[in-house]
Amino acid sequence: MNKQQLQKLRGEYSKNSLDESRVDRNPIKQFEKWMFEALESGVPEPNAMILATVDANHKPKARVVLLKEVDDGSFIFYTNYSSDKGKELQQNPNASLCFMWLELERQVRIEGVTEKIPKSVSEEYFKQRPYQSQLGALASNQSEVVEGREVLEDRFDELEKKYNEGEVPMPDTWGGYRLIPEAIEFWQGRRSRLHDRVKYELQNGNWTIKRLSP
C-alpha cells in the first residue's frame, strides 16, 4: 500500500446529527443512550474501548479493553493489576477511554481518574465469567515474557485438571478499575467533515456543555 492509496480513503458521514441543546444534561445518561443504540444496531463488540495510559517515562500507551459496567457515574473494566497497564495506572491514575462505533458514525472520548474497585466486587464478577476465561486469567501472567504458546497451553491444561470439579480462585493480581470521568466528548460524523462535537466538563461538581469546532 502506498501513500496515495491511504490518502484516497475517505467517507462521507450523514447518518445522524448531535445538537448540544438536545443532549441529556447528564453525560452518563447520554452515554447510556448511545450505548443502547449501539447494542440495538448490532455494532460488533460495542463495549470495546481504547484505554490510554502514561508510563513512568511519560510515554503514552494504548490498547483495547472491554467495558463491563457503568456504575455510579463511573466506567468499570477488569485486568491484571501486574500487567503493563496496571503498573502504569498505579504510577499515574489519570487515563482516557475512547469508543468508536463506526456503523453509527459515532465516537465517545472520556477523560478521568482511575481507582481499584473493592476486591469483593471483582470476585463477584470473576465468578460470573465463563469457566475457561477464569482459567485463562489464572494461567497468564499478563504482559510478562513467555517462551512460547505451548507454555501457556500446558499451564492451562494443568489448571483445567486441578479445578475440573472445583471453583477457580481469582488471581491475587486480578481485579477491576473504575474510571471516574472529568470530561466526556460525544462525536457525531457529519458531511464535509463538519462533524458535531459536544463536550461535557465537570466544574465544581456540575457538568458544563459546550460545542467544539470539528
Q: What is the structure's pLDDT at 154?
A: 92
| Residue 100, amino acid | M
> CB under 8 Å to 27, separation ≥6 — which residues?
181, 184, 186, 200, 207
Residue 36 lies in a domain: yes
Distance between CA atoms of 71 and 22, rounded to whole angstroms? 24
Residue 160 lies in a domain: no
Counted domains in the chain: 1
**Domain of 113?**
15-125+173-212
pLDDT digits (tens, 9 = 90+) for 13-61: 989 999 999 999 999 999 999 999 999 999 999 999 999 999 999 999 9
Q: What is the structure's pLDDT at 144?
A: 83
- pTM, to two decimals: 0.93
CATH at 200:
2.30.110.10
Catalytic sites, residue numbers:
193
Residue 66 lies in a domain: yes
Least Cα distance to 195 among 102, 98, 105 occurs for: 105
Residue 28 lies in a domain: yes
Residue 189 lies in a domain: yes
Residue 166 lies in a domain: no
Residue 77 lies in a domain: yes
Q: Are 26 and 207 in contact (CB under 8 A)?
A: yes
Residue 94 lies in a domain: yes
pLDDT digits (tens, 9 = 90+) for 62-120: 999 999 999 999 999 999 999 999 999 999 999 999 999 999 999 999 999 999 999 99
Mean pLDDT calculated for residue range 128-136: 94
* CB burial readout 86-125, b (16+ within 10 A) else e: bbbbeeebebbbbbbbeebbbbbbbbbebebbeeebbeeb
